[in-house]
Amino acid sequence: MTDSKYFTTTKKGEIFELKAELNSDKKEKKKEAVKKVIASMTVGKDVSALFPDVVNCMQTDNLELKKLVYLYLMNYAKSQPDMAIMAVNTFVKDCEDLNPLIRALAVRTMGCIRVDKITEYLCEPLRKCLKDEDPYVRKTAAVCVAKLHDINAQLVEDQGFLDTLKDLISDSNPMVVANAVAALSEIAESHPNSNLLDLNPQTINKLLTALNECTEWGQIFILDCLASYLPRDDRESQSICERVTPRLSHANSAVVLSAVKVLMKFMEMLPKDLDYYGTLLKKLAPPLVTLLSAEPELQYVALRNINLIVQKRPEILKHEMKVFFVKYNDPIYVKLEKLDIMIRLASQANIAQVLAELKEYATEVDVDFVRKAVRAIGRCAIKVEQSAERCVSTLLDLIQTKVNYVVQEAIVVIKDIFRKYPNKYESVIATLCENLDSLDEPEARAAMIWIVGEYAERIDNADELLESFLEGFHDESTQVQLQLLTAIVKLFLKKPTETQELVQQVLSLATQDSDNPDLRDRGYIYWRLLSTDPVAAKEVVLAEKPLISEETDLIEPTLLEELICHIGTLASVYHKPPSAFVEGSRGVQHKRLPPRAGSGESTESPDVGQSGPSEAPPAVIPSQGDLLGDLLNLDLAPPTATVPSVQPSMQMGAMDLLGGGLDSLMGDESDTVIKLSERGTAMPASLGGAPAVGGGLGDLFDLGGGVGMPTGSYVAPKTVWLLAMKAKGLEISGTFARRGGIIQMDLSLTNKAMSVMTDFAIQFNRNSFGLAPAGPLQVLTPLSPNQTIDVSLPLSTSGPVMKMEPLNNLQVAVKNNIDVFYFSCQYPLSLLFVEDGKMDRQVFLATWKDIPNDNEAQFQIKDIHLNSDVASNKLQGSNIFTIAKRTVEGQDMLYQSVKLTNGIWVLAEMRIQTGNPNYTVNGNKET
């Protein structure tokens, strides 16, 4: 019999033919046809049209045919609920069949048909089957209750099936018990507080008895259920552990892991001075090691779990280092996990072996693995002080191989070693510097720059090295830029005489030519520090750094506890709580380890007690990536928030700074010429000359100096609008932004008073463009003292209009539980530039001519180091669209259009002379 032929019929009119065959009188032909239908179903063809014909084949004594029809029903019943009712009678009849296999088949299938109407009919047969004389039927019915609960939970409760299910825990047949436990556990998961499982010493005893007798799968269900029980005292805990330990010798790895879970959890309750506690610890190691001779997929699951166990109880596997040595033919996912555990187990006793292995791995083929091995060597150095010297020399050997990624990885870890053991291994810096040119990864470049900056006084040509990085400053990634900035400032503070030019260069690159706010901020902070008080700068920038901690990559203790409760499951594989990857109510419950045994502390036996991390959780350093981030930022001791409010014109601020000791950094500056003579026709005459327009445009160009995202509109930094002393402790700072066509007011509310603030509300006075809040102020939580909340308030332009002086002035009232406060602020005009402000070329030409000269204004914007294309792009980000561009006598002429929310068009001609940082703008306005 070759059933494969069913997969190959793909001709047209197939459904029609099948229909005929299904209705054939010949049994054989019918069966063939059903097989074809199932084959089509498997490959994803829609054969639901055959529903009535297939269901007609259901009434048969041929068990094979019946099963096929059932399979079809389970797939399509949902799409044809009315037709599915046709099948009910057969099901009900089958549930009464003499053959227990058929009774079970019927109840099993019925539960899989997710049609409301059918479930009603299911109740009676299910009730009977739950009390069937045959255990095979009962165990099937037990699972069916879970199925029904998934479809209609209320029905299951109303019909009292939950109680029947609970009764099945006392069934004489172990498999019935196991399935009942599985079903109850699943139902209980969706009712976290129902106490459905109601585990007590009697039921636990029943479960433990069934544990010895049921199938391997049943043992897993029971063990997983046991793990959620909380024993009353240490004695009960011990007696359960004693009855669970034999499972550690089961051939099924899942049984072993679930048993480990129960033991790890209940062990928490045992006093550490108990002999049994030590015995138990010893019993856990061998089965865990045995898991490593399973198939690779299971090894992977086991290793992910061992990783958790080693963090929770390092003493269990501390002598088993060798079994985690990587084999040449291990799949990569096993190799990487083994490596992780090797580092966790590394100690003074075994470090020599571990290092020899790691060095071996560093010559392998898989890039990820090699990188991780190199990184591991560094971690060993940090973890085991005695080995640091050997680790460093091993790393140097690896650098000599000149394999690009090995060198880079080595440099990254050597930087960490310097952080741990300052002033010890600096002799290797020369070797590192030789490899400067081969570094192409940001992390490695950043690490190298950090090293050069940190030890600038010992590197003769530190300035040359750093200068070489500076050439391509804009192509570097942010972390390299930040690091370079810090390193050069360090260098300057150490060797101020020779490096003044360099530091000016980097500060101007960071503050003026960068789009990255972090970089800009850091640049300004250094700038101010250096210009106001170089001594303070030295204290801050060259401050002593705290040593980094020994253990890295540890899982945060509360998460670790939760994951220990999930040993063996997906959560322990992902190292994430179930709520992170399970939808809905299931698994949201956070499991916790039982409280530690009471008097343990004082009576601890010294040999097992000291290494338990539960008593003294080590400071956790989140992950490698974050760690590095911290390291790099560490130089910058004062956080940005403590810097006084940023002034509106950053460039002006920067120039002020220059006066304080450093030479003029901006170079030759031309005169500032802003001629502005504008007159509106639609808007009253006073609009002309209003600072709003000039200021707005100036701000827009300020983004040429580095703020804002390249494609987004310009957002000014937040300024303080309402001082705390004027508003009973409430300080408000804010700015405006246009994001995706929506105007937003970004506010930071800070409570500087002693009492909690609540009930925030906001209102605007009438204003020139009808700005009004589009929704209430969303401050959901009370604002406690010294807390700051950031809110974004969407604005609309449909509010009442009244001309303000200046035009862009906005008067705001903010209310809270204490009082009402008023302040006024000014919004940039660019806030009102709409996205569809691109005028058609022809229309532009015509309009340009038609606008009377009176409506024209001219002014200059100075000191913009951008060419016309970049400028045009930046402006487009703020909805100023370039309609045309022409080049006349070395001057670029850009023609631009802007549309305001109230329908006013502004046309502009911008003249840009190459090499001249000043732009000339001719503005035209039209309604």
Partner 1 sequence: MIGGLFIYNHKGEVLISRVYRDDIGRNAVDAFRVNVIHARQQVRSPVTNIARTSFFHVKRSNIWLAAVTKQNVNAAMVFEFLYKMCDVMTAYFGKISEENIKNNFVLIYELLDEILDFGYPQNSETGALKTFITQQGIKGQHQTKEEQSQITSQVTGQIGWRREGIKYRRNELFLDVLESVNLLMSPQGQVLSAHVSGRVVMKSYLSGMPECKFGMNDKIVIDKQGKGGTTDEPGKSGKQSIAIDDCTFHQCVRLSKFDSERSISFIPPDGEYELMRYRTTKDIILPFRVIPLVREVGRTKLEVKVVIKSNFKPSLLAQKIEVRIPTPLNTSGVQVICMKGKAKYKASENAIVWKIKRMAGMKESQISAEIELLPTNDKKKWARPPISMNFEVPFAPSGLKVRYLKVFESKLNYSDHDVIKWVRYIGRSGIYETRC
Q: Which is nearer to partner 1, 250 or 458 (CB)?
A: 250
Q: Which is nearer to partner 1, 25 or 328 (CB)?
A: 328
Q: Which is nearer to partner 1, 190 or 858 (CB)?
A: 190
In contact, 445 and 436? CB cutoff 8 Å: no
Closest CA to 443 of 632, 636, 633: 632
Within a 10 A sphere around the Cβ of 813, how many other Cβ atoms? 13
In residues, how long is the chain? 927
Q: Is 256 in the site for partner 1 (CB under 8 A)?
A: yes
Candidates 82-90, 356-364, 453-461, 510-518: pick the segment binding partner 1 (CB under 8 A): 356-364
Q: How far is CA 56 from the centre of its chain?
A: 52
For partner 1, the binding residues in 81-110 under the rule CB under 8 A are 98-102, 104, 108
Q: Is 265 in the site for partner 1 (CB under 8 A)?
A: no
Q: Which is nearer to partner 1, 76 or 881 (CB)?
A: 76
**Widest Cα–Cα separation across the chain:** 104
Looking at this protein, which amino acid is placed at residue 122? L
3-state class of 597 per DSSP? coil
CA–CA gap between residue 520 and residue 508 (Å, rounded): 9
Q: Is 565 in the site for partner 1 (CB under 8 A)?
A: no
Q: Which is nearer to partner 1, 340 or 702 (CB)?
A: 340
For partner 1, the binding residues in 29-58 under the rule CB under 8 A are 35, 38-39, 42-44
Q: Is 729 in the site for partner 1 (CB under 8 A)?
A: no
Residues 6+ apart with CB under 8 A from 923: 678, 693, 856, 857, 858, 859, 906, 907, 908
Angle in degrees, CA 730, 733, 737, rounded to 5: 145
Q: Is 535 in the site for partner 1 (CB under 8 A)?
A: no
Q: Which is nearer to partner 1, 251 or 616 (CB)?
A: 251
Candidates 454-462, 565-573, 618-626, 887-895: pick the segment binding partner 1 (CB under 8 A): 565-573
What is the C-alpha radius of gyration for the chain, rounded to an integer number of angstroms?
37
Q: Is 62 in the site for partner 1 (CB under 8 A)?
A: yes
**Binding partner 1 by CB under 8 A: which of 82, 437, 475, 583?**
583
Candidates 69-77, 384-392, 696-704, 714-722: pick the segment binding partner 1 (CB under 8 A): 69-77
Which 3-state string (H, E, C) describes 676-745? CCCCCCCCCHHHCCCHHHHHHHHHHHHHHHCCCCCCCCCCCCCEEEECHHHCCCEEEEEEEEEECCEEEE
Q: Is 182 in the site for partner 1 (CB under 8 A)?
A: yes
3-state class of 344 per DSSP? helix
Residues 6+ apart with CB under 8 A from 797: 743, 769, 770, 771, 772, 832, 901, 902
Cβ-count burial 768-785 (b if 16+ within 10 Å, e if not): bbbbbbbeebebeebbee
Per-residue CA distances from 373 to 301, 349, 363 (Å): 21, 20, 9
Q: Which is nearer to partner 1, 292 or 548 (CB)?
A: 292
CB of 432 to partner 1, least distance (A): 18
Q: Is 10 in the site for partner 1 (CB under 8 A)?
A: no
Q: Which is nearer to partner 1, 17 or 364 (CB)?
A: 364
Q: Is 28 in the site for partner 1 (CB under 8 A)?
A: no
In contact, 355 and 330? CB cutoff 8 Å: no
Q: Is 205 in the site for partner 1 (CB under 8 A)?
A: no
CA–CA gap between residue 848 and residue 842 (Å, rounded): 10
For partner 1, the binding residues in 403-442 under the rule CB under 8 A are 403
Q: Is 746 in the site for partner 1 (CB under 8 A)?
A: no
Q: Is 569 in the site for partner 1 (CB under 8 A)?
A: yes
Q: Is 571 in the site for partner 1 (CB under 8 A)?
A: yes
For partner 1, the binding residues in 115-174 under the rule CB under 8 A are 134-137, 139-140, 143-144, 146-147, 150, 173-174
Q: Is 112 in the site for partner 1 (CB under 8 A)?
A: yes
**Binding partner 1 by CB under 8 A: which of 19, 29, 67, 191?**
67
CB of 42 to partner 1, least distance (A): 5
CB of 249 to partner 1, least distance (A): 5
* Residue span 316-355 as binding mask against partner 1, x where in contact by CB under 8 A, dash where not: ------xx-x-xxx--xx-------------------x--
CB of 68 to partner 1, least distance (A): 7
Separation of first and last alpha carbons in the chain: 84
In contact, 783 and 751? CB cutoff 8 Å: yes
Per-residue CA distances from 797 to 361, 599, 794 (Å): 65, 68, 10
CB of 360 to partner 1, least distance (A): 7
CB of 402 to partner 1, least distance (A): 5
- Which residues partner with 924 through β-bridges? 907
Q: Is 589 in the site for partner 1 (CB under 8 A)?
A: no
Q: Which is nearer to partner 1, 247 or 874 (CB)?
A: 247
Q: Is 271 in the site for partner 1 (CB under 8 A)?
A: no
**Binding partner 1 by CB under 8 A: which of 250, 371, 592, 766?**
250
Within a 10 A sphere around the Cβ of 863, how many other Cβ atoms? 17
Q: Which is nearer to partner 1, 374 or 451 (CB)?
A: 374
CB of 325 to partner 1, least distance (A): 5
Across the beta sheet with 742-751, what order do the strands follow?
719-722, 730-739, 742-751, 788-796, 772-773
Q: Which two structure tokens, joined as six digits, stand for 107?
A: 């109840």
Q: What does the DSSP assignment read for 260-297?
A: HHHHHHHHTTS-TT-HHHHHHHHHHHHHHHHGGGS-HH
Place of tokens 């009910």: 88
For partner 1, the binding residues in 605-624 under the rule CB under 8 A are none
Closest CA to 736 of 771, 693, 787, 688: 771
**Binding partner 1 by CB under 8 A: which of 194, 233, 581, 677?**
581
For partner 1, the binding residues in 282-311 under the rule CB under 8 A are 286-287, 289-290, 293, 295-298, 300-302
Q: Which is nearer to partner 1, 572 or 920 (CB)?
A: 572
Q: Is 823 in the site for partner 1 (CB under 8 A)?
A: no
The count of chain residues that interact with partner 1, using the rule CB under 8 A, is 115
Q: Which is nearer to partner 1, 288 or 908 (CB)?
A: 288
